[in-house]
Structure 1
Amino acid sequence: MNVLVVNAGSSSLKLSVLGEDDTVLAQHHVERWDGTPDLDLDLTLPPVDAVGHRVVHGGTRFTTPTVITPDVRRGIEELTDLAPLHQPRALAGIDAAQALFPDVPHVACFDTAFHRTLPAAAATYPLPSAWRERWDLRRYGFHGLSHAYASRRAVELAGGGSRVVTCHLGAGCSLAAVHDGRSVDTTMGFTPLAGLPMATRSGDLDPGLLLHLLDHLTPDKLADGLAHHSGLRGLAGHADLRDVHAASAQGDVNARLALDVFTHRLRQGIAAMTASLGGLDLLVFTGGIGEHDPDVRARVVDGLAFLGLALNRGANAAASGDAGIGAERSRVPVWVVTAREDIEIADGTRTALAADIVL
């Protein structure tokens, strides 16, 4: 079965066709996409038997890959308030792909689904039970498709390991504690704003600080600031970590602070995920920053020597694709794994269609 994988980003649309053995048969990237369903694609694709879509938020209803029906689409749309940056783009991707391929089944694969295994202690917020029950307030977790693939792939590459911390680092950043293939903790929470500082998102903040800001800002201004003008952009004026590195090298104190805050919070989060696992067998970096920024990896691992971690400097600097970067003396293997959410989506699409899952 050939599966067209649709990954709708905030301003782009990535399409790839994967064959039965997950070989990439075709790729197309719409760099600037305004969300219109009327895509005029000048490309020739191999036969497509099904379409798999990345959807960020599945809420409590969608915990497995799910065939998209009109009712399912409405259910996805109803979750927009929980992921206002991401859910509308996923819906636009669904509409665009269904217009292009109206005669094949479409399947939604949810980033939150991997974290459905979070134990109650990790998923529950200490809020009034009436609030939690009325509004489904809990830690959902995100980047699940990436964490699922990276953790499984790293175990294969390392030849074993039951306690894995995966670091998905890109424009959005999150960590996951994975025990025997199951997510048991993660840094993102009810929304993708939580956890680590990111390109433009704040990550975790004191709720009292937010209440204080509401005395000075409207809710819309606060939401916009937290999502679009915080994180690296808020600290250094640059959302791209490459620009932050360049500014830091030129002596920009704000850029240096941004790097220090980012890596401090990252080390802190990895240590917390290790505590949730009761130990660490593998540390994995993936995503745009995780795969391509040896300086961040070095800053993080050097600060976690107390966990038995040590880098091979040469391997870290030269890492390309899937690569082991731990030193021989490192008690815990350290790996870089190429993000392949497309494989996870294609496999989920085939699984859903084989089981004929329709909610």
Structure 2
Amino acid sequence: MNVLVINSGSSSIKYQLLDMRTETVMCSGAVERIGEAVGSVTHKIAPGGDTEDWISLTQPIADHEEGMHLVIGLITDAKRGVVKSLDEIEAIGHRIVQGGDIFHASCRVDDRVVDELTKLIPLGPVHNPGHLAGIRVSRQLFPQVPQVTVFDTVFHQTMPPRAYMYALPYELYEELKVRRYGFHGTSHAYVTKEAARFLGKPVEEVNLITVHLGNGSSMCAVQNGKSVDTSMGLTPLEGLIMGTRCGDADLAIYPLLGAEKGLSISEINDLTNKQSGFKGICGKNDMRDIHEAVAQGDSRARLALDMFGYRNRKYIGSYLAVLGRVDAIVFTAGIGENDPVARELTCRGLEHLGIKLDHDRNLAPARGARDIAASDSAVRVLVIPTNEELEIARQTVAVLKPS
């Protein structure tokens, strides 16, 4: 089965076409800056393979419909396309960030699902409108192709109330569904299964702390293969320090900034989501730039790194308390997979808790799943590359598989 995976945002469409018989990527790309004066399209054929080919376009892209037409044109191009016709696309999987407490599993798209996603826009105002645009256009262009929604929040639906409830008036949960939902669930789910396979254990028996570190970062406590706690909350703002998000912060900051700086709620929301985190501390949100600044003696870049490692260690300590037994700490995503300094800062000083890195293994340039813990570490420390698109495609196939 060929599955087209779509991650549609407010002004972008990211996609992959996968052959699920071999779980290989046929092509992938991104349509960006939709609705702006000049948009862009980047398309890769057989990414990562021996015959990888690139196509790059720059042109105005009015809306998601035009963007999807460009994607289809590239996928089916007579000379460089990877399929001859749209009939070869047998299913479509949509990444959905916010499924609220309505969706507890991936599901086939129908009018009811669209209606429920529309109702969830207040909980996902940044992401859900873009997802809905992608679904609307895909249903128009592929009316006969089965489509599936895969939710970032579903993996965290197994959290108990003691973990997902906030100590706010209970009526806010009843009326507005204010609670912790968690995000990056597709990534946490994927690396949980891959870590279990790497450790040679059934997924139902593994206890893990999965550490997704990128421009957006989150951590998850996994007990017997299921999420029991996670760092992100009602939105992706809560938790770890991120590229531009502050993570955990006292809610009283909001009225203080309103009173002393004259900022509106919208402006404060923008400040905490887009102007904070690493960017707020040292003016840089790319970890590579931060490392370079530290090497040049930038004290605020050093502070940002120290805060990052400290916050990460606090969460690992709390999740160790929640889980009791932990088989492995699992690093994933852009920073987690590629930055040995970030991994070392996260694990520093945790030896008394059974977490001990092997210095050389951590620094060794390597790709793929690997163990970077010292041989005498009681808890394994793994690096597992995430693959959210493959997980979405797998879940799409599972939903459509005849029972």
Listed as ranges, the gaps of 5+ residues in structure 1 are none
TM-score (structure 2 length as normaliser) = 0.84
Mapped pair 1:82 → 2:82: no
Q: What amino acid maps onto 1:334 in structure 2?
A: V
Amino acid at match of 1:329: D
Higher relative contact order (CA 8 A, sep 6+): 1
SS in 2 for 1:217: coil
Equivalent in the alignment of 1:139: 180
Q: Aligned partners of 1:162, 1:75: CA distance in 2, in Å?
A: 34
Deviation at 1:11, TM superposition (A): 5.6
Partner SS state of residue 38, structure 1: helix
The equivalent of 2:5 in structure 1 is: 5
Aligned partner of 1:24: which letter?
T
How far is the alpha carbon of 1:83 from its aligned partner? 2.4
**Are 1:207 and 2:254 matched, yes or no?**
no
Deviation at 1:348, TM superposition (A): 1.5
Aligned residues: 356
Q: How does 1:146-161 map to 2 (within 5 A)?
A: 146-160=187-201
2:90 — aligned with what? 49
Which structure is larger by alpha-carbon Rg, 1 or 2? 2
1:247 pairs, out of 290, 293, 297, with 293
Cα drift, residue 12 of structure 1: 4.5
Distance 1:73 1:179 in 2: 32
**Counterpart-to-counterpart distance in 2, 1:319 and 1:307:** 26
SS of match in other structure, 1:28: strand
CA distance 1:10–1:332, change in 2 (3 Å) = farther
The ranges of structure 1 where at least 4 consecutive aligned residues each deviate by more than 4 angstroms after the TM superposition are 9-12
Aligned to 2:384: 337
CA deviation after TM superposition for structure 1 residue 33, in Å: 4.1
| TM-fit CA distance, 1:96 | 4.2
The corresponding residue for 2:65 is: 37
**Structure 2 unaligned blocks of 5 or more:** 35-62, 76-80
Match of 1:235 in 2: 281
Q: Name which of structure 1's ranges 45-54 and 172-181 shifts more when overlaid on structure 2.
A: 45-54
Deviation per CA, 1:98-148: give whole Å up to 9, x if none.
344332011110010011110111111111122221111211111110001
What amino acid is the match of 2:278? Answer: L
- Following superposition, the deviation at residue 351 of structure 1 comes to 2.2
Structure 1 contact 196–204 (Cα < 8 Å) conserved: yes
Which range moved further: 124-133 or 20-29? 20-29
TM-score, normalized by length of structure 1? 0.94
3-state SS in 2 of match to 1:114:
helix
User: Is the 1:55–1:90 Cα contact (8 Å) retained in structure 2?
Assistant: yes
Matching residue within 85, 92, 109 for 2:133:
92
Task: Please give the residue correspondences for 1:42-191 in structure 2 after superposition, counting only pairs within 5 Å.
Answer: 42-43=74-75, 44-46=81-83, 47-160=88-201, 162-191=206-235
TM-aligned CA distance change 1:33 to 1:69, over 3 Å: farther
Task: Note the C-alpha offset of 1:94.
Answer: 2.4
Residue 81 of structure 1 aligns to a residue whose secondary structure is coil
The one-letter code sitting in structure 2 at the alignment partner of 1:164 is L
* Cα 1:64–1:207 shift into 2, 3 Å: same
- Given that 1:38 and 1:96 are in contact with CA atoms closer than 8 Å, whether structure 2 keeps it comes out as no
Partner of 1:19: 19
Residues 17 and 28 of structure 2 are in contact (CA less than 8 Å); yes or no, is this contact kept in structure 1?
no
Structure 1 residues 198 and 207, CA, compared in 2 at 3 Å: closer, same or farther? same
Counterpart residue identity of residue 30, structure 2: V
Aligned Cα root-mean-square deviation (Å) = 1.8
8 Å Cα contact 2:10-2:131 kept in structure 1: no
Residue 281 of structure 1 corresponds to which residue in structure 2? 327
Equivalent residue of 2:66, what SS? coil
